[in-house]
Amino acid sequence: MSLIEINNLKYRYPGTTELALDDISLNIEKGQFIGIAGENGAGKSTLSQALLGLIPQFYKGAYGGSVVVDGLTAKTAPVAELCSKAGLVFQNPFNQLSGAKDTVYDEVGFGLQNLGIEPSEIHSRVEDVLKRFGIWEFRDRNPFDLSGGQLQRVAIASVLAMNPDILILDEPTSQLDPAGSEEVFHTVDELAETGITIIMIEQKMEKLAEYCDKIMLMHHGKLIDFDTPEKIFSREDLMEYGVVPPVYTEFARKNDLRLPDGNYPVTIKKLLDLIKTGNFDCKKLMTSLGKITGPEFCDLEEGTGEKQNLIEGAVSEAAVSPESSDRTFIVEDLHFSYIEGREIFKGINLSLDRRPTVIIGQNGAGKTTLVRILKGLLKPDSGRLSFEDQDIASKTVAELAGKVGYVFQNPDDQIFKYNVLDEVMFGPLNIGMTREEAETRAHEALKTVGLDEVSRKNPYDLELSDRKMVAIASVLAMDTDVIILDEPTIAQDYKGREKIREIIRDLSSRGKLVIAILHDMDFVSKSFERVIAMAHGEILADGTPDEIFRNHQVLEKAALTPPHLVALMEELDMGK
Amino acid sequence: MKSISLYADNGSWLVKLHPFSKMFYLVAAILIPLIAGRIFMFAITVFASICMLGSARMLKKALPLIAFSFTIILTVFIIQGIFYKDNDSLLLSLGPVSFYREGLLYSSHIGLNILNMLLSFSILVLSTSPSELVEELEKKGFSPKLGYIINSVFQIVPEMMGTMHTISDAQRSRGMETEGRLMTRIKAFLPLISPVVMSALTSTRERAIALEVRGFGSKMQKTYLYSHPYSTADQIMKWVSILCLFLVITLRVTGIL
Ligand SMILES: Nc1ncnc2c1ncn2[C@@H]1O[C@H](COP(=O)(O)OP(=O)(O)OP(=O)(O)O)[C@@H](O)[C@H]1O
Ligand SMILES: [Mg+2]
């Protein structure tokens, strides 16, 4: 008997006509590390909830088939009993909090108390997970006062500390800095070694490929395939399911680098091994790589002439408008603290122009805080702050709203209307558009993010990824000069990320300033001209993606890793 | 996030006392003067409470409470001084109004009672974290479900205030004026109500699921992270309170007092 047995599982949410889970059957063995891949809406989160019996016991609807977890039938067994076997880390860390504990330490201990674990054991486990995930120093803080990434760490820690036999994680690293997300995978992998079964939903295919034993490929509620990462990512029809293979696999496919069994390698290690043993022409491979990465990273000696052309091409392509060098935000000697006596910023200086700019850096570095100050939502303790030569302090946030748009990190913090269209029209109406104008704008914005057909729905009924898109649309509709996007790619699948890239490109080609905060370095290297790396409330470096990603000292300090292709290129370079 | 509980850990001896010893004191301090029925007894307990608050550096925080109670006491004083039903012996006359001894005595009774209760309650409230009190009660068999509710009440108000803040940020960042003149701020308050309530409602279901996942429904006997053994100070506080209470009762029953 397998640890988890799913037979012909079907499920439909109340009030819908389509099956969210459509005839799923599979067995999962103890100690396996299983990944779940698939586009938004494929049914991944629904499946995770069905494993714990939350479906159909908390969420009603039509249910068929069976799920048996370690001998317990999910449909009828008490949820509490199922939950003592399997732990679930939610997609949105805010929803994981118990709401009864006012420190991080007690919050993480809460679940262990309920399980009746000895206090001394609780203390040692809590200390262990908090240290492991780098949040030990925040143990006395209220969980609600943490940065998004710090909170996500608390959520993971709170479930991990309970030592469940089965650990289900729903996009647990979406808001983590690259080093943090590596730490999570590494930790979970160690658990799998000790016989704990891991089921992880993730959009980071490179990570799934590296760590999983098997991957479930889901699409429209159906289980398309359940196989090893090599087999799954070598599928020719993968894109049809809204999943892109790891960049290494794509690179291998372009250059026809196959493993002996005919599949493509899925990790950088396998790829490099293959290249080494196969005696492939590194130079040729480098050139091919340069074509994928674009001009920024192509620094082959013989390619200099070509590189020059490419850069010029890129610049003219961006169609920079004449006033593009205009200064927009100027920040001088900025000081800020949430709690008196504990300064987050100790004198920041920054001057922004109209180049698309991205802020990257470790969780809690102060990225969100910085953009909220630019937006006027937080007032600095001291320092000067101007936008287009006007002092920001002298204006209210609402007065600036027509010029500076800001999409919040957590969409649930931003959305407050009961209807998508009203939500998107709220901004345009406030900045003086007529109803018709606002409605046209709103529909346009919703079309841009691909949600026009749900404009009559309640945003709370949409998935997290769609709510994030609604939040983006509601700012796009205002047509502001500056658009600030705080982690726009949270919960987005490949298509969603492409859509956001498209939006950023379009906005900057129209002369608007885009400022984004991101943890996805591949996205950063493709879409931005200027990168600002932050750590511990300081700006560590400010330059082109090329400059930043080759500066290993800065990367390490800011808990970052270079984009996958840059890493590959550096490895190849050394191999040469 | 601001907490609605008045408790703050200032490291004083009162904070370090076990919640139950403070509860023993609370009960004794309220009952003793009532049972004794003498006004000077109030003076003793009030004095004791003030000394305790003072030595724990909490008197300043208790002041607003005392000031508040004084306004009530003053009103009672005036009304009863003039209108008390058994008023007989005239004390003083200010033009047309006259104050009587019986009324003033009666009202000082009420007033001191209020003051006494407030002071002894503030000893408990100012120096005890609500979650610690609940935890200690749970250890003595109080239902964890009820305990959770009490704890979350202390979290819910600040949480709602937090939600209000976030929604207001969402609204002003998209052009709704919420700052400036009083009228603007009042106008901005109304559109906040419905989303705040709505968000509280939706989060209730998510909370229920979160609790389930965190093992709250488990049949296991819950354990507690912190233990708070009785110190000598606790023993003294507890037994002195109990003994005094018994002493007063005996004195009263035997008719000595
Ligand atoms: N409301 C608050 N009260 C107190 N401290 C806060 C509050 N919000 C954030 N902080 C602290 O300020 C620091 C910077 O937080 P900020 O949200 O700007 O980080 P961030 O760079 O956006 O991180 P992330 O990548 O996790 O979103 C963190 O240490 C955080 O704990
Ligand atoms: Mg942030």
Asked which of A209, A239, A269 is the last residue of a domain, the reply is A239
A263, part of any domain = no
Nearest ligand for residue B162 CA: 1
Structure tokens given for B231: 């110190």
B3, part of any domain = no
> In this predicted structure, which of A399-413, B7-21, B150-164, B206-220 has the lowest mean pLDDT?
B150-164
On whether both A347 and A492 belong to a single domain, the answer is: yes
Amino acid at residue number A518: L
For A153, which DSSP code?
H
Judged by CB atoms closer than 8 Å, whether chains meet at A397 and B173 is answered as yes
A271, part of any domain = no
How far CA A329 is from CA of A62, A88, A137, in Å, comes to: 54, 43, 33
Is A368 close to ligand 1, i.e. is its CB under 6 Å away?
Answer: yes
Tell me the mean pLDDT in the region A534-558: 94
How many angstroms separate the alpha carbon of residue A110 from the centre of ligand 1? 23
Q: What percent of chain B has pLDDT over 90?
A: 28
Q: What percent of chain A has pLDDT over 90?
A: 77
How many domains are there within chain B?
2
Asked which of A223, A239, A255 is the last residue of a domain, the reply is A239
Q: What percent of chain A has pLDDT over 70?
A: 93
Judged by CB atoms closer than 8 Å, whether chains meet at B213 and A475 is answered as no
pLDDT at B66: 81
Pairing verdict, β B90-94 and A166-170: unpaired
On whether both B238 and B194 belong to a single domain, the answer is: no
On whether both B104 and B163 belong to a single domain, the answer is: no
For A264, which DSSP code?
P
A451, part of any domain = yes
pLDDT at A324: 47
pTM: 0.86
* B98 or A7, higher pLDDT: A7
pLDDT at A301: 38
Q: Show residues of chain B in contact with A401, CB under 8 Å.
A: 172-175
On whether both B233 and B121 belong to a single domain, the answer is: yes
Structure tokens given for A389: 């030569």
Is the pLDDT assigned to residue A16 strictly greater than 60? yes
Tell me the mean pLDDT in the region B232-248: 93
pLDDT at B4: 65
Band of residue B113 on the pLDDT scale cut at 50, 70, 90: confident
Query: If you measure CA to CA, which chain B residue comes closest to A418?
Result: B195
Nearest to A102 among B155, B173, B199 (CB): B155
Is A148 close to ligand 1, i.e. is its CB under 6 Å away?
Answer: yes
A574, part of any domain = no
Residue A168: Cβ within 10 Å count: 25
Is A363 close to ligand 1, i.e. is its CB under 6 Å away?
Answer: yes
**Is the distance from CB of A61 to CB of A11 less than 8 angstroms?**
yes
On whether both B123 and B76 belong to a single domain, the answer is: yes
A268, part of any domain = no
B224, part of any domain = no
Is A365 close to ligand 1, i.e. is its CB under 6 Å away?
Answer: yes
**Is the distance from CB of A215 to CB of A35 less than 8 angstroms?**
yes
Is the pLDDT assigned to residue A325 strictly greater than 80? no
How many domains are there within chain A?
2
Beta partners for A27? A5
On whether both B115 and B235 belong to a single domain, the answer is: yes
On whether both A114 and A18 belong to a single domain, the answer is: yes
Summarize pLDDT for B169-190 with one digit per residue, the tens.
Answer: 999 999 988 887 788 888 878 8
Q: Show residues of chain B in contact with A95, CB under 8 Å.
A: 203, 206, 209-210
On whether both B21 and B118 belong to a single domain, the answer is: yes
Summarize pLDDT for A343-384 with one digit per residue, the tens.
Answer: 999 999 999 999 999 999 999 999 999 999 999 999 999 999
pLDDT at A294: 52
Query: If you measure CA to CA, which chain A residue comes closest to B227?
Result: A119
Query: Which atom in ligand 1 lies closest to the alpha carbon of residue A366?
Result: 18
Tell me the mean pLDDT in the region A119-141: 95
On whether both A485 and A385 belong to a single domain, the answer is: yes
B219, part of any domain = no
- The whole-angstrom separation of Cα B121 and Cα A73 is 51
Is A146 close to ligand 1, i.e. is its CB under 6 Å away?
Answer: yes
pLDDT at B93: 79
The parent domain of residue B95 ranges over: 13-128+229-253
**Is the distance from CB of A575 to CB of A276 less than 8 angstroms?**
yes
The mean pLDDT of chain A is 90
Rounded to the nearest angstrom, the minimum Cα separation between A353 and chain B is 22
On whether both B192 and B110 belong to a single domain, the answer is: no
- The whole-angstrom separation of Cα B13 and Cα B21 is 12
On whether both A397 and A538 belong to a single domain, the answer is: yes
pLDDT at B67: 85
Per-range mean pLDDT, top range of A26-35, A277-286, B53-62: A26-35
Structure tokens given for A20: 């969210």
Structure tokens given for A91: 């997609």
On whether both B142 and B82 belong to a single domain, the answer is: no
Q: Show residues of chain A in contact with B213, CB under 8 Å.
A: 52, 54, 83, 87-88, 90, 96, 159
pLDDT at A293: 60
Band of residue A460 on the pLDDT scale cut at 50, 70, 90: confident
* A136 or A283, higher pLDDT: A136
On whether both B206 and B236 belong to a single domain, the answer is: no
Query: If you measure CA to CA, which chain A residue comes closest to B170?
Result: A414
- The whole-angstrom separation of Cα B224 and Cα B237 is 24
Is A150 close to ligand 1, i.e. is its CB under 6 Å away?
Answer: yes
The parent domain of residue A215 ranges over: 4-239
Summarize pLDDT for A254-267 with one digit per residue, the tens.
Answer: 888 899 898 999 99
A436, part of any domain = yes
Nearest alpha carbon, ligand 1 atom 29 = A364
Band of residue A337 on the pLDDT scale cut at 50, 70, 90: very high
Asked which of A192, A216, A239 is the last residue of a domain, the reply is A239
Chain-centroid distance of CA A383 in Å reads 32
Query: If you measure CA to CA, which chain B residue comes closest to A479?
Result: B174
Tell me the mean pLDDT in the region B54-60: 90
Beta partners for A69? A4, A72
B223, part of any domain = no
Judged by CB atoms closer than 8 Å, whether chains meet at A99 and B177 is answered as no
In this structure, chain B runs to a length of 257
Is the pLDDT assigned to residue A305 strictly greater than 60? no
> In this predicted structure, which of A102-111, A518-527, B96-105, B139-148 has the lowest mean pLDDT?
B96-105
Nearest to B1 among A95, A96, A142 (CB): A142
pLDDT at B95: 77
B238, part of any domain = yes
On whether both B239 and B164 belong to a single domain, the answer is: no
On whether both A479 and A336 belong to a single domain, the answer is: yes
For A460, which DSSP code?
G
On whether both B112 and B139 belong to a single domain, the answer is: no
Summarize pLDDT for A191-223 with one digit per residue, the tens.
Answer: 999 999 999 999 999 999 999 999 999 999 999
pLDDT at A314: 38
**Is the distance from CB of A171 to CB of A491 less than 8 angstroms?**
yes
On whether both B122 and B141 belong to a single domain, the answer is: no
pLDDT at A153: 96
Chain-centroid distance of CA B94 in Å reads 38
List, in order, residues 6 or more apart from B119 with CB less than 8 Å away: B29, B46, B49, B50, B53, B62, B65, B66
- The whole-angstrom separation of Cα B210 and Cα A99 is 9
A168, part of any domain = yes
Nearest ligand for residue A408 CA: 2
Residue A65: CATH number of its domain: 3.40.50.300
A571, part of any domain = no
- Say if residue B27 is exposed, middle or buried (CB neighbours under 10 Å; 0-12, 13-18, 19+): middle
Tell me the mean pLDDT in the region B119-124: 90
On whether both A360 and A462 belong to a single domain, the answer is: yes
Of B252, B99, B130, B190, nearest to A102 by C-alpha is B130
Band of residue A486 on the pLDDT scale cut at 50, 70, 90: very high
Rounded to the nearest angstrom, the minimum Cα separation between B199 and chain A is 8
Summarize pLDDT for A91-113 with one digit per residue, the tens.
Answer: 999 889 988 888 999 999 999 99
Tokens 């200390």 belong to A127
